[in-house]
Structure 1
Amino acid sequence: MTEPFHGWTPEALGEPGEVRPVVKAPDAVLSRAGTEVDPVDPKVVRLAADLMATMRVSPGCVGLAAPQIGVSAQVFVVDVSGHPKAATLHGAFALCNAKVVEASRWRPGREGCMSVPDLTGDVKRAARVVVEAVLPGTGEPVRLTTDAFEARALQHEIDHCAGLLFLDRVAGAHAIHQRKVYL
């Protein structure tokens, strides 16, 4: 398995993507484990392209999973480029059927989510992860090693694909906060 190359997107396969509405909690699709997908299926490539297009037009969004646009499937996109908390960067990419195979250096951190727009929460996650997945379109297996904010984003999106929200990972009500609105 190899690392995904920097900047891989569904557009590389000629799929521009369509912006889709984002599903909000408590919609049932957000609490169902997504099904594994065939990464070379044109519908999966199109789904990845739609996720990328939707993420790109959403201010502050660094990742988006298929359940967040109403599709119960294990597909997501991530791009933490330009985020001040990012250390390791792999650019914009889409992954299918991702699994965390190694996790270490657990740390708490504040998370938000487009599907839970009014709240943030303190979630303990691994600051270093190794993820195995496949690329949509090619079906190429990848092994991605990352840390810091990109590792947190990957775990957040993998959780979405498993039917979990960040609210399912907080230590209790004391770790949930009203989102601050900046004018």
Structure 2
Amino acid sequence: MDDIVKQALAKWPNVPDCYGWLGLDARGRWYLRDDATQAAGPFPQSRGQLLEHDKLIAFIARNYESDAEGRWFFQNGPQRVYVELEATPWIWRVQPDLTLLSHTGQVAEGSDALVDAQGRLYLATALGVGLVHSMDVALAADAVESGRWPLQEVLASDLPARYRYVPSPQAWRAGRLEVGESR
């Protein structure tokens, strides 16, 4: 977490949390979701505005964490902005040496590969579970076939409970989801 964010938290400790205003899609892109976008429907059906400002994206990435309930958020100064997830909390880019680079720039090592009924590939790591970016599935498949990452079949709907994350903190807050339950 950035020092300036820590300072803001210390100065203003009681700023209300923000829900529904930020979304992360299955390709690791961030979306801002204003009131009109939220009123049009849940994420990802109603995405909002794609963030394209490199410094803002980097700031979000440096301050992206989860809380004890498994809700992922961006700490924006003193305000916690909870993230609506299209798929998983992490989106992995598979590197040529088979290390993983998250959508936030963190490096991880895959331990298990998971495939759902739609053929989407997920990798479990010490950081948590993430969806493999669609452009990297072929490279990841080579690693699975070589035995580097043991493959298991899963139901995508089981991943939130298994890896303890909340896909929609906004729905969770409204009482429409239990911890680990997906939409």
Fold shared by both chains (TM-score > 0.5): no
Q: Which has the higher contact order (CA 8 A, sep 6+)?
A: 1
User: TM-score with structure 2 length normalisation?
Assistant: 0.30
Work out which of the two has the higher radius of gyration on C-alpha atoms and give 1 or 2.
2
